[in-house]
Chain A
């Protein structure tokens, strides 16, 4: 918080004055504070207003959603009946929903892992993978790679999805390129065969995300003092050892953040899926919960059930974030308290 804010200054003044007048050692408490105009308006603008906005636009839709998930609302009439947990029971007996949930969990495990590993490798090459004499630095031309690998992130997700849907089509670019290389795969439908649909989809998501997380990690690695890296080198650490023992522990917080963000993105994945395989893929092999939710709400007119799916998705997302933070804490070991 910046101390230059006039509201805050006056608040601090008020606090000081109040304390002085009272002449006691006890810290001033809220209840005894004199309610000057400055103080009240400060509270209203900096605490009250954001809180109201937060309540109206964030909390209340949440609570509404939880309520709707326990009704049989069709979405197009003002009438609905409370049905308790019936929708949730129905969901967990629905094989298609469970399959979609499984696909989401697979995405949430695999996508962050691959993306982060690749992004880390690139980031290390660009920052510490360079020649072993002179300053610790990246490979030759690293600034060029840095810009190029960021390109996919600049393209909107839906454009990426449609682009790749064309590339993957049986007469598309990929099969054409393979044909030039002498591999004839009989116009393989990459997104149309159960064995490759999910893999091809994961590749697209990873492809579009690597650039951004690489930049994120580069920024983090640049924050590590050069002396530390040089000291490691003097002690005889190679590049790989430097990355695993010096760099990684220093940017662990960034990796954790990246993991949570990517996981949340993978649990949604709606845009990629809608562009690549809007129908849910062969035998629903790439169907995700958000797609199924959309379908249930607007095609089948079961808004209550669809909202229940949303609630389940939200709970899974929260659990995922908690799990990731927990795991990182565990592998973080004892040096936790020492920093920041």
Chain B
């Protein structure tokens, strides 16, 4: 680097000023070209609505779908797209499915430019935060009110509570397609071989931890990107114990949300478990799938809290004799105030239809096709996970014990299911991760973690630029 020229002479200063004077207005005008300028798209002329074409998809139109390429891939939408294209009652409608692993990054310019796709699976770690796009989305009630391809009204074919995760401020804007059960997962063969007792409440865990220790195993383990699975476990367990008393303050960012006695008692037990050495140390430095394989392959720990995607995720890294089973997350003690079987089960993989898309009717038609019995069964069979459509998983769970226990849990719960939305709604997960990593490593007391988690809640609550959504 040449230092000699660094000094600024009077002349170069003047020259610079003149240049800046020319540049600024030019730059501003350029900026205004590239800035978001609204978009015109939207509601392209539709065809006529009929019983076989309830949303009036125009003949020979194209449906542009962008699907998150995660644990479930994109082939299930492609499959539905083929069924749609072959549907003789529609006139030459075709479907283009694109995959994406970074939904927010890739679709941000299309939303700003007023040219979003017709159907989006807004999922994954890089999904679009709900509170930023809600007012640009179609309401999807008419999809559930229509008949599926087999002629049954779609809303009659679904599990209970499937509208909840996609309902914001009373408006149903995202259709979550895959049924996800949150629970504690274990190997029933390992439990039988060692005489471990499946726990019924948090009060059973210390004894189970001791039994595990006697066999040289741990009770729990975690990985650094998935430390907040334990937050999910703690919150869900508290809701199972005390119901809306815990859930609503958390969801609506109450200043005392984390101080609820049930949450505190559960955190205290978890803290004691960590201090007693029942949590496998080092998780904060271990990649999460690596940690999970220590559970499913090495069987170094007995229990792992997760959503039901865990079976599919660890398929290739599961010990051959690992008979994976799940139980709902645990109440604090025997005195839970909610009905038996109450559990967190929510539809995941939220599909949305932007209002400004070129062919929103086509997006809805593709959703209707996906909700037909044929498409839903194809999904359950190939992905070993139930969709929100009931009765697509046979008794034997296509040979999967985890899928069997999922169906069992869902049947036992019936309509008694709940979901937790605020974490994703306000994008809090990555701020919570370092806190949970420290807590699980034993570096934080219950008082400290309560204070820090509450501080995050308060920060969102007090930030006037964040749109709040009331959750009921």
Cα–Cα, bound, A162→B108 (Å): 28
A66-96 vs B, CB cutoff 8 Å, 1 = contact: the mask equals 0100001111111110010000001000001
Question: Binary interface profile of B, 428-448, with partner A (CB < 8 Å = 1, else 0)?
Answer: 011101110110010100000
Q: Report whether B27 and A305 are in contact in the complex, using a CB–CB cutoff of 8 Å.
A: no
Residue from A60, A287, A305 with most neighbouring chain B CB atoms (10 Å)? A60
* Chain A to chain B: the 7 pairs with minimum beta-carbon distance, closest first: A189-B285, A192-B284, A192-B285, A170-B282, A301-B132, A301-B129, A78-B36
A169 to B284: give the CA distance in the assembly, Å: 9
* In the assembled complex, A165 has its CB within 8 A of some CB on chain B: yes
Q: Which A residues from 278 to 327 make CB contacts under 8 A with B?
A: 278-284, 287, 295, 298-302, 304-305, 325
- A positions within 8 Å CB-CB of B: 55-56, 59-60, 62-64, 67, 72-80, 83, 90, 96, 165-166, 168-171, 186-194, 253, 256-257, 260, 277-284, 287, 295, 298-302, 304-305, 325, 328-329, 332, 336-337, 340
What residues of A have a CB within 8 angstroms of the CB of B6 in the complex? 325, 329
The answer for the CA separation of A189 and B285 in the assembled complex, in Å, is 5
In the complex, which of the residues B39, B133, B224 contacts A192, with contact meaning CB atoms closer than 8 Å? Answer: B224
Interface residues of B in 1-53 (CB under 8 A from A): 1-4, 6, 23-24, 26-28, 30-31, 34-39
| B128 close to A76 (CB less than 8 A) | yes
Q: A60-B34, A75-B132, A76-B133 are in contact. Are A188 and B282 (CB under 8 A)?
A: yes
- Cross-chain contact B36 with A60 (CB below 8 angstroms): no
CB < 8 Å: which of B24, B114, B129, B224 contacts A279? B224
Min distance, Cβ B4 to any Cβ of chain A, angstroms: 6
Please indicate the chain A residues that have their CB under 8 angstroms from the CB of B172 in the complex.
none
Cα separation A232 to B132 with both chains bound (whole Å): 68
Check if A169 sits within 8 Å of B290, measured CB to CB.
yes
Shortest Cβ distance from residue A257 to the other chain B in the assembled complex, whole angstroms: 4
| Residues B62-110 near A (CB distance < 8 A) | 104-105, 108
Q: In the complex, which residues of chain B have a beta carbon less than 8 angstroms from the beta carbon of A253?
A: 1-3
Interchain CB contact under 8 A, B465 and A72: yes
Contacts of B431 in A (CB 8 A): 96
A to B CB contacts below 8 Å, 6 in the list: A64-B31, A193-B284, A279-B430, A279-B437, A301-B133, A329-B3
Given contacts A72-B465, A76-B132, A192-B284, 17 further A-B contacts (CB under 8 A): A64-B31, A74-B132, A75-B132, A77-B136, A78-B36, A78-B112, A79-B36, A169-B285, A169-B287, A189-B286, A194-B438, A253-B1, A256-B3, A280-B434, A325-B6, A328-B3, A329-B3
Q: Please tell me if the beta carbons of A257 and B1 are within 8 angstroms of each other in the complex.
A: yes
Min CB–CB distance A321 → chain B (angstroms): 9
On whether the beta carbons of B30 and A299 are closer than 8 Å, the reply is: no
B26 and A55 contact, CB distance less than 8 A: yes
Q: Which of A67, A79, A300, A302 has the most CB of B within 10 A?
A: A300
Is residue B426 contacting chain A, with contact meaning CB distance below 8 A?
Answer: yes
Choose among A59, A77, A298 the residue that contacts B112 (Cβ–Cβ < 8 A): A77
Q: Taking CB as reference atom, which chain B residue is nearest A259?
A: B1
CB-based nearest B residue for A72: B465
Do residues B430 and A336 form an inter-chain contact, with CB atoms below 8 A? no
Let me know if B281 and A189 touch, CB within 8 A: yes
Report the bound CA distance from A336 to B6 in whole Å: 12
Complex Cα spacing A56 to B36, Å: 16
Is the Cβ of A169 less than 8 Å from the Cβ of B286?
A: yes
Q: How far is the CA of A63 from the CA of B29 in the complex (A)?
A: 10
Distance in angstroms from A49 CB to nearest chain B CB is 15
B285 touches A300 (CB 8 A): no
8 Å CB interface, B229-288 against A: 281-287
Interchain CA distance A63-B34 in the complex, whole Å: 11
- Tell me whether A192 and B30 are in contact in the complex, defined as CB-CB below 8 angstroms, given that A165-B287, A253-B3, A301-B132 are known contacts: no
Cα-based distance from A284 to B431 in the complex (angstroms) = 9
In whole angstroms, what is the CA distance A330 to B23 when docked? Answer: 34
- Residues of chain B within 8 A (CB-CB) of A194 are 438, 443
Smallest CB–CB gap between A188 and chain B, Å? Answer: 7
Interfacial chain B residues near A278, Cβ < 8 Å: 225
Task: Tell me the chain B residues, 417-472 only, with Cβ under 8 Å from chain A.
Answer: 426-427, 429-431, 433-435, 437-438, 441, 443, 463, 465-466
In angstroms, Cα B126 to Cα A298, docked, is 7
Do B433 and A78 touch (CB < 8 A)? no
B1 touches A298 (CB 8 A): no
Chain B residues near A332: list those with CB within 8 A.
3
Chain B residues closer than 8 Å to A281, beta-carbon distance: 434
> How far is A59 from B30 in the complex, measured between Cα atoms in Å?
10
Task: Name which residue of chain A comes closest to B430, CB basis.
Answer: A295
- B182 contacts the other chain (CB 8 A): no
B225: which of A56, A72, A279 is its contact (CB, 8 Å)? A279
CA gap between A317 and B448 in the complex, in Å: 35
> B123-148 vs A: 1/0 string, CB under 8 Å?
00010110111011000000000000
Instruction: Please give the distance in Å from B107's CB to the nearest CB on chain A.
Output: 8
Whole-angstrom CA separation of A76 from B132 in the bound complex: 6
A280 touches B282 (CB 8 A): no
Question: What separation, in Å, do the CA atoms of A298 and B227 have in the docked complex?
Answer: 21
Give the CA-CA distance A79 to B39 in the complex, in Å: 11
Q: Does B441 contact A64, Cβ atoms closer than 8 Å? A: no
Nearest chain A CB to B26 CB, angstrom units: 6
B111 interface residue, CB < 8 Å from A? yes
**Is the Cβ of A279 less than 8 Å from the Cβ of B105?**
no
B216 to chain A, nearest CB (A): 14
Residues on A with C-beta less than 8 A from B35 are 64, 67
Asked whether A77 and B30 contact (CB < 8 A) given A96-B431, A169-B285, the answer is no
Given contacts A76-B108, A189-B283, A283-B434, A60 and B27 within 8 Å (CB-CB): yes
Say yes or no: B128 contacts A301, CB within 8 Å: yes
Asked if B36 and A80 sit within 8 Å, CB to CB, the answer is yes
- Cα(A190)–Cα(B281), bound, Å: 12
CB distance from B100 to the nearest CB of A (A): 13
Q: Shortest distance in angstroms between B19's beta carbon and chain A's nearest beta carbon? A: 10
Provide the residues of chain A in CB contact with B38, threshold 8 Å. Answer: 78
Most buried by A among B4, B104, B430: B430
Docked pose: A278 CA to B23 CA in angstroms: 39
Bound Cα distance A79, B287 (Å): 39
Which of B27, B114, B281 contacts A187 (CB under 8 A)? B281
Q: Which residues of B contact A165 (CB under 8 A)?
A: 287
Most chain B beta-carbon contacts within 10 A, residue among A74, A83, A191 = A74
Chain B residues lying within 8 Å of A80, measured Cβ to Cβ, are 36
Q: Please determine whether A192 and B126 come into contact, CB atoms closer than 8 angstroms.
A: no
Chain A contacts of B224 at CB under 8 A?
Answer: 191-192, 277, 279
CB distance from B468 to the nearest CB of A (A): 13
